[in-house]
């Protein structure tokens, strides 16, 4: 494969926003690696993308199975020798639909949410940084949420003031912190690190009443994954708007 071809790994990419992000990036000529917990479902998604002309392949990547991280890194190193884009898209929300209040959310729900939404992202990113450093323009996009913004979540009258899902919100706040810290460490390198809010999107997590279609939900990730050398790093965005931490 030509060294000029960009390679992107997207976690949780066999459906929803992850799959749509893969479709949009793939149509731009990026080779897509679909990270999927269920490899069979990942292969099905990759086949659909190949059917519309996208160079796509599936990789088994269970965010809670740490040995998968090394296996994925080894596979990418063998086939491509570098990674240009990492989109940390996979996430869960265990307390939103369960009716948990902050005072009653089970400790297990907190731990499980952080394991997927924060710790797994940090560890996978660590495992893939050597490959991202080999890219001429590495890009890391952490899919966060407006609910990770304390500034937006706190004020009475805020559009999301009434939406308090403690485990999910706190995990995304932690993810935002990781974004800031990693971007600071990587200043002066060719890697840019940003967090994004995809919007309220019609997915399994967002529900049928969400106002945004999948294409709109993927737009911010695609934009930050393809920014040029003069683009931002250490930022938090929705579409073209910078969000407050």
35 forms beta bridges with 59
CB count, 10 Å around CB of 180? 16
- As a whole number of angstroms, the distance between CA 57 and CA 178 comes to 28
Burial of 108 (0-12, 13-18, 19+ CB in 10 A): exposed
Catalytic residue at 168?
yes
- As a whole number of angstroms, the distance between CA 94 and CA 192 comes to 30
Q: Which residues contact 213 (CB under 8 A, 6 or more apart)?
A: 201, 202
- CA angle at 228 for the pair 222 and 234, rounded to the nearest 5°: 75
What region, left, alpha or beta, does residue 99 occupy, with left being phi > 0 and alpha being psi -120 to 50 degrees? left
- As a whole number of angstroms, the distance between CA 118 and CA 224 comes to 20
Catalytic residue among 69, 161, 168, 236: 168
- As a whole number of angstroms, the distance between CA 227 and CA 223 comes to 6
Furthest-apart CA atoms within the chain: distance in Å: 54
Residues recognised as catalytic = 168
């Amino acid at each position: 494969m030509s060294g000029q071809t960009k390679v992107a790994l997207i976690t949780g990419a066999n459906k929803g926003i992850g799959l749509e992000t893969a479709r949009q990036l793939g149509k731009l000529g990026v080779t897509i690696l679909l990270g999927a917990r269920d490899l069979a479902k990942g292969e099905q998604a990759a086949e659909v993308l190949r059917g519309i002309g996208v160079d796509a392949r599936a990789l088994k990547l269970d965010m809670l199975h740490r040995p998968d991280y090394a296996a994925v890194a080894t596979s990418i190193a063998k086939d491509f020798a570098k990674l240009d884009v990492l989109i940390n898209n996979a996430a869960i929300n265990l307390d939103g639909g369960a009716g948990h209040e902050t005072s009653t959310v089970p400790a297990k729900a907190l731990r499980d949410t952080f394991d997927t939404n924060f710790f797994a992202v940090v560890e996978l990113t660590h495992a893939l940084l050597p490959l991202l450093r080999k890219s001429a323009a590495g890009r890391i996009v952490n899919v966060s949420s407006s609910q990770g913004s304390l500034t937006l979540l706190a004020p009475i009258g805020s559009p999301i003031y009434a939406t308090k899902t403690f485990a999910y919100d706190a995990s995304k706040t932690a993810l935002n912190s990781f974004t800031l810290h990693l971007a600071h460490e990587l200043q002066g390198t060719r890697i840019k690190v940003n967090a994004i809010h995809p919007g309220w999107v019609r997915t399994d997590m967002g529900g049928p009443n969400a106002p945004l279609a999948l294409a709109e939900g993927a737009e911010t990730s695609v934009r930050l994954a393809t920014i040029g050398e003069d683009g931002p790093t250490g930022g938090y965005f929705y579409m073209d708007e910078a969000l407050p931490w």
